[in-house]
Amino acid sequence: MKRNKDEEPTDRGYIVGIIFFVLGLGTLLPWNFFMTASMYFNNRLNVTEWVNVTAAPRKEYYFNNWMTLLSQLPLLLFTLLNSILYPRISEKVRIAGSLVFILLLFILTAALVMVPMEEDRFFSVTMATIWFINSFGAVLQGSLFGLVGLLPVRYSAVFMSGQGLAGTFAAVAMLLAIASEVDDKTAALGYFITPCVGTLVTLISYLLLPKMEFARFYLDKTKKQRYELETTSQLLSKECSDGGGELNDQASCSVANSNPCSLSSDHGDSSRQAFVSLEAPVTMETKSSVLEVFKKIWVMAFCVTFVFTVTLSVFPAVTVDVKTAYQGKWERYFIPVCCFLVFNLMDWIGRTVTSLVQWPGKKSRAFPLLVVARVVFVPLLMLCNVQDRHFLPVFFSHDIIFVIIMMAFSVSSGYFVCLSMSYAPQLVAPGDGETAGALMTFFLALGLSVGAALSFLLRVLV
């Protein structure tokens, strides 16, 4: 039986869903692989001592702080440039081009593992790589969010699940590299080859997407609707302006809020046929201004900014320097397991729980109060066994206490971020949902950047 062209095809084998899961995973691979490899970078930056005739003190690069800041600033920058950059560059160039450049930068990072380099130069090259790889990552993420938004809502959830597991993927890759028990260079090389393969698979997945009938149905349908709306709008505008004061009694041209624009004139067969073919009236809905939308969602905007400010102020800049209370082989696994794996798994669980439980409600005063209460995790983590330290004492030296604090810290981060992002569009009219989403994305990026900047101060205070 032949399928009607307007009938939705089936996603056989859920292939399109798998593709978007891979695409979600690929968007956050750069940030997570660089963050999880902080031990490798710090070891390379502390091989020799800073030249000093007497004491020869070690130079402090504050790698974790700079890495966090230079990873998040591109996200904020390209969020601001979103309206300028995206309409001028095609979707394929933005997505495929970004993936190609990310792949090349990962290959460069892997190659540098085997290249001896003076610390200052290595630091500069690494920071430049982090900046550019996250710049392309920001373009990639924004473009894919727009692409997945054209498909049914369930595909957005799959895409977000892929993003949520990117950190876990990086942490497991690091654990496998350590467990291989090869020399440090070989382990690091194997670790950085993994995101090269992952990015290549992501690129191939994106190129396969247009070949899927299910994906084509929604992408082509949206393009067709957009073209029809633009063409209709242009024709209506032209007909209204051409008629002016010369329209006779049988011709009328009216435009009002939420009212159809109806035309009837004798300006030519082609124009008449174009409008007669329209089966439904064209409605012109007014959208709220950005300021009006912000007034409705400012509480959620504050919440998502504050959550990420707290999270990025101590993770990973402070947490990565926590030392285990046990000597021996466990020392190599402590940070990959107790810091990165625990954080990413619990953050993913926190995001997933919101599909079952959504408390407090979007208008509850308890919601922003609980978000602000997360600031307690900052001193708690600073009082763990962070080394080297100069001012604060160690209150929580045991590994178990650190893990418990990290679990609560990461679960609450994922939970409140997901709630904030899902509540915001519900507080505005359906037509303002896109504006609300864009504003929330900006404040999310703002929170990441502010938290990254604060991490310098908090690390010095320990």
Torsion, Cα 453 455 456 457, to 10 degrees, reads 100
Q: Is residue 182 part of a domain?
A: yes
Q: Which pLDDT band holds residue 274 (cuts at 50, 70, 90)?
A: very low
Each residue of 24-37: pLDDT tens digit? 899 888 889 998 88
- Residue with more model confidence, 245 or 376: 376
Q: By the 8 A CB rule, do 294 and 301 touch?
A: yes
Would residue 391 count as lying in a domain? yes
Last residue of a domain, one of 211, 228, 246: 211
Q: Nearest 5°: CA angle at 138, between 38 and 72?
A: 45
Determine the 3-state secondary structure of 259 from DSSP.
Answer: strand
pLDDT attached to residue 454: 94
Would you place residue 261 in the very low, low, confident or very high pLDDT band (cuts 50, 70, 90)?
Answer: very low
Query: pLDDT above 70 covers what percent of the chain?
Result: 80
DSSP run (H or E) holding 435: helix 433-461
The residues, any chain, with a CB within 8 Å of residue 55's CB and separated by 6 or more, are none
| Domain shared by 130 and 262, yes or no | no
Helical pair 153-164 and 119-148, crossing angle rounded to 10 deg: 160
**Domain edge (last residue) among 181, 211, 241:** 211
Phi, psi of 221 (to 5 degrees): -65, -40
Using the predicted structure, report yes or no on whether residue 251 has a pLDDT greater than 50. no
Q: Would residue 326 count as lying in a domain?
A: yes
In a shared domain, residues 301 and 434: yes
Per-residue model confidence as pLDDT tens digits over 369-415: 999 999 999 999 999 999 888 889 999 999 999 999 999 999 999 99
d(CA 400, CA 393): 18
Phi, psi of 283 (to 5 degrees): -100, 140
161 pLDDT higher than 90:
no
CATH number at residue 73: 1.20.1250.20
Please classify residue 95 by burial: count the beta carbons closer than 10 Å to its beta carbon, then call 0-12 exposed, 13-18 middle and 19+ buried. buried
Please check whether residues 196 and 264 belong to one and the same domain.
Answer: no
- Residue 258 included in any domain: yes
Q: Is residue 283 part of a domain?
A: no
Q: Is the dihedral of CA 434, 437, 439, 441 positive or negative?
A: negative
Among the residues of 149-289, which ranges form H helices? 153-164, 166-179, 184-208, 213-243, 269-276
What pLDDT is attached to residue 282? Answer: 46
Are residues 223 and 206 both part of a single domain? no
Higher pLDDT among residues 330 and 249, named by residue: 330
304 and 429 both lie in a single domain:
yes
CA atoms of 189 and 186, how far apart (whole Å): 5
Same domain, 391 and 345: yes
Domain at 424, CATH number: 1.20.1250
- Do 170 and 83 share a structural domain? yes
pLDDT of residue 55: 44
Using one digit for the tens of pLDDT, what is the confidence trace for 408-436?
999 999 999 988 988 888 898 877 876 78
Residue 264's pLDDT is: 34
Please name the residue ranges forming H helices in 54-183. Answer: 63-80, 82-85, 91-112, 119-148, 153-164, 166-179
Phi-psi region of 210 (alpha: psi -120 to 50; beta: other; left: phi over 0): alpha
Exposure string of 44-67, with b = 16+ CB inside 10 Å and e = fewer, is bbeeeeeeeeeeeeeeebebbbbb
DSSP string, 67-79: HHHHHHHHHHHHH
**11-19, Cβ contacts within 8 angstroms, sequence gap of 24 or more:** 11/212, 11/214, 12/214, 15/212, 15/214, 16/151, 16/155, 16/209, 16/212, 16/214, 16/215, 17/154, 17/155, 17/158, 19/205, 19/206, 19/208, 19/209, 19/212, 19/215
Nearest Cα neighbor of 260 from 279, 281, 274, 285 is 281
Which structural domain, as residue segments, surrounds residue 408?
291-462
184-208 helix and 166-179 helix, angle to the nearest 10 degrees: 150
Distance between CA atoms of residues 300 and 363, nearest Å: 10
Q: 192 by DSSP, 3-state: which?
A: helix
Q: Does the residue 286 lie in any domain?
A: no
What pTM does this model have?
0.76
Mean pLDDT, all residues of the chain = 81
115 CA to centre of own chain: 32
The whole-number pLDDT of residue 133 equals: 93
When pLDDT is averaged across residues 130-148 and rounded to a whole number, the result is: 86
- Residue 57 belongs to some domain of the structure: yes
3-state secondary structure of 267: coil
Domain boundary, last residue among 211, 233, 267: 211
Residue 111 belongs to a domain: yes
- Residue 277 CA to residue 279 CA, distance in Å, equals 6
Split at pLDDT 50, 70, 90, the class of 84 is low
Q: Can you tell me the mean pLDDT for 179-206?
A: 91
**304 near 420, Cβ under 8 Å?**
yes
225 lies in the same domain as 198 = no
Q: Once rounded to an integer, what is the mean pLDDT over residues 264-285?
A: 41
Q: Is residue 253 located within the same domain as residue 163?
A: no
Number of domains the chain is built from: 3
Do 205 and 300 fall within a single domain? no
Q: Are residues 199 and 247 in the same domain?
A: no
pLDDT band of residue 108 (cuts 50, 70, 90) is very high
Length of the chain: 462
List Cα–Cα distances, 306 to 27, 138, 216, 278, 443, in angstroms. Answer: 23, 21, 39, 49, 9
| 185 plus 222 within the same structural domain | no
Q: Which of 361, 357, 345, 368 is nearest to 414 (CA)?
A: 345
